Amino acid sequence: MTAQLLPINQRLNSQQLRRILLVEDNDVNRMLMSDYLSYCGYHVHSLSLGSALFSTIEKFQPELILLDLKLPDIDGYSLLEKFQHKPFFSRIPVIVVSAFAFKDDQEKAMKLGACRYFVKPVNLQELIMTISEKLACKKNISF
C-alpha cells in the first residue's frame, strides 16, 4: 500500500539504476543532458574533461558512455582509441554525441569503436531509445 504512495522517482531510486557516464565540456549541454537522463531513470555521472575518464570509469563503473568529441584537454577520438587497448573498457558501449556533422567524422568514430553517433542538436527520444537498446543488449560488466 505504501509503495503506491511513493512518487515515481522514489520508486525508481529504490531499484538499481543503470549507470551512464556523460562526457561533455559545455556546461549547459552537460547539465541539460544529465537532468534529462536522470529524469528518464538513469544514474548519471558527468565529466567536463576527458582526462578524468578512465579513473572515473573504474570508480563509477558505467554501463554506457555518452562522449563528446571536442573536449578542451583531449579529443574524443583519442579516448576511443585508448578504449580499444583496455579490454574491460572496450566492452562499455560508447555513443558519440557531437557537433561534428561530417560523414568522415562519423565514420572515424565508428571505426574507433563507437556503437552509435548522434549529431547535435540531439533528438532526445531517439537517444533514449538507443540507450535502452544498447543497455538491453549488454551484460553487466565486472571490473
At residue 54, the 3 state secondary structure works out as helix
Q: Looking only at Cα atoms, what is the longest distance across the chain?
A: 55
Q: CA–CA distance from 106 to each of 1, 48, 116 (Å)?
A: 50, 21, 9
Q: What local confidence, expressed as pLDDT, does residue 16 receive?
A: 72
Listed by start position, the domains of the chain span 16-137
Residue 5 has pLDDT above 60, yes or no: no
In this prediction, residue 139 has a pLDDT band, given cuts at 50, 70 and 90, of low
Q: What local confidence, expressed as pLDDT, does residue 137 receive?
A: 86
Q: What angle do CA 126, 132, 136 make, to 5 degrees?
A: 145
Q: What local confidence, expressed as pLDDT, does residue 1 receive?
A: 33
Residue 110 has pLDDT above 80, yes or no: yes
At residue 88, the 3 state secondary structure works out as coil
In this prediction, residue 8 has a pLDDT band, given cuts at 50, 70 and 90, of very low
Give the whole-angstrom CA distance, residue 77 versus residue 54. 14
CATH architecture of 16-137: 3-Layer(aba) Sandwich (3.40)
